[in-house]
Amino acid sequence: MPLVGRVRGQKFTVDKVLTRVTGAEVTAALKDAVRPGETVLCTDGHSAYLHLQRTLGVPAKSFVASYHGPVRDKVYHVQTANNYHEQLETWI
C-alpha cells in the first residue's frame, strides 16, 4: 500500500510502500516529515493516523472526501497527495 505525504507550499514529498497500514508503520514512514507545532495532518480517516497524531503530537484533520466534500474548514484537503498517489500508482 503506497503512502504519500506532501508538505503544502513546499516541494517536499514522502512516499513509502507499506506492507500493512498500521499506526507503527505510518509513524515510521512519516516521523521525519512532521513537526509538532508546524504540521497539521490531513488524512482520509484511517485509524492508523490516530496513532501518528498521539505518538508525534501533531493535530489531524480527518475526513472522507466523498462524505465531507473535498475541502474541510475551507482550507484542509488531501487533493495534492491524492494526485501524487495516483501518478505514483500509474507509474508503478
Q: Which three cell numbers stand for residue 87?
A: 501518478
Q: Flag whether the pTM goes above 0.95.
A: no
Residue listed under C-alpha cell 507550499: 9
DSSP, collapsed to helix, strand or coil, labels residue 40 as coil
pLDDT in tens, 4-29: 777 666 677 777 888 888 888 988 88
Q: How many Cβ atoms sit within 10 Å of the Cβ of residue 13?
A: 14
Q: Write the pLDDT tens digit of every residue in 68-91.
A: 667 666 766 666 667 777 877 788
Model confidence band, residue 31 (pLDDT cutoffs 50, 70, 90): confident
**CA–CA gap between residue 3 and residue 23 (Å, rounded):** 12
Residue 80: partners with Cβ closer than 8 Å, 6 or more residues away: 6, 8
Q: How many CA within 13 A on the CB side of residue 49? A: 17
